[in-house]
Structure 1
Amino acid sequence: MSHPDPALVDVRPLADHPLVEAGEGRSLRMVAPGAVTRGRFGLVEYRLGPRTPGAAPHYHRTFAESFYVLSGRLTLYVGGAWQTYRPGDFAMAHEQGVHGFRNDGDEPASMLILFTPGVAREAFFAEMAEIGRRDQPPTKEEMAALYARHDQVMVDV
């Protein structure tokens, strides 16, 4: 009896996906970027310090984004309102579903963010981290161009 190819298993040791500081109490780890998953999904570990802003309400046209709370209390914008979620809670924003996140609590919070399909979201997070580490805030034009490149449509709520 023949078996499938064992080379079709990918392993990424922690050293291959280090935690990257993203400024203002935020850090992230690109656990499984779309390039590794053959575009099937992308997985990011995202950490927010106490009272740290995250992503303002927005949506994506071409991919879904899911959130799984690992630690702390995470505030998610879902269903038209900001709501607090705890470890083990899960939320999925389908394509064009308005969502956002932040940490309103006094303790750090962390979550896994899953993108399907595995769009090159790591480029977005790398650019956001770079902006977050700068001494000067980005211009409105710079942010609009970033969002346009990465299928992120901001929503006023």
Structure 2
Amino acid sequence: MPRNPQPLIVHAQDAEEVPLPGGGRFRLLEDSRATCGLLGANRLVLPAGADGTRPHHHRLSTELFYVLDGTMEFLIDGALTAVDKGGLIVVPPGMVHAFGAAAEGPAEFFAVLTPGIERFGYFRQLGRIARGEAEWDSMDELHDRYDVHFVGGPQWR
């Protein structure tokens, strides 16, 4: 059990924003430090048809997604499904998943990983890769540290 977790309030203006191509962006809300490892949380906006991630799994964390706007496409354990605004997805540890915005328009979701692992460095690096400032292989040494384990190639839809 985490030691001495305290209430956490993150105001919109205090959240770090990581820009992505096409108007997408990460909003980094909690990196598990303030919650003593209870959870990590972020918000992601993706332009129409943009992939959010390649197929991967987490060995340690459950991941919860809540679709705030638009339609997200999820690959979960080999099945592709569309989830509209207001939909909730929970992916247990070890289950392969990927996600992206549907082709019809941009999408936005809120994600929570529990237990939390400090992943803001991972999201910052993904932003650099997406903007062409770093190569994909720069992630190779980060998989275990951030509990993100990719399977297969970059294309999944």
Which residues of structure 1 form unaligned runs of 5+?
Answer: 1-7
**Which residue of structure 2 lines up, in the alignment, with residue 94 of structure 1?**
92
Q: Specify the alignment match of 1:138 in structure 2.
A: 135
Secondary structure at 2:116's aligned position in 1? Answer: coil
Q: Which has the larger radius of gyration?
A: 1
Shift of the 47–90 alpha-carbon distance from structure 1 to 2, 3 Å rule, reads same
Query: After superposition, what is the alpha-carbon deviation per residue over 1:1-27, rounded to whole angstroms, capped at 9, x for unaligned?
Result: xxxxxxx43322212104320335431
CA distance in structure 2 between the partners assigned to 1:149 and 1:96 by the alignment: 16
Select which of 28, 32, 47 maps to 1:49: 47
Q: Deviations over 1:95-145 (max 9, x none)?
A: 10111101132211000111001110212111111222235x615x32322
Q: Which residue in 2 is equivalent to 1:153?
A: 149
Which residue pairs with 1:5 in the alignment? none
Identity over the aligned pairs, expressed in percent? 26
Q: Matched residues in 2 for 1:104 and 1:13: separation?
A: 29
Aligned residues: 148
TM-score, normalized by length of structure 2? 0.84
Q: CA deviation at 1:92?
A: 1.1
Whether the aligned pair in 2 keeps the contact of 1:24 and 1:132 (CA below 8 Å) is no
Residue aligned with 1:19, SS: strand
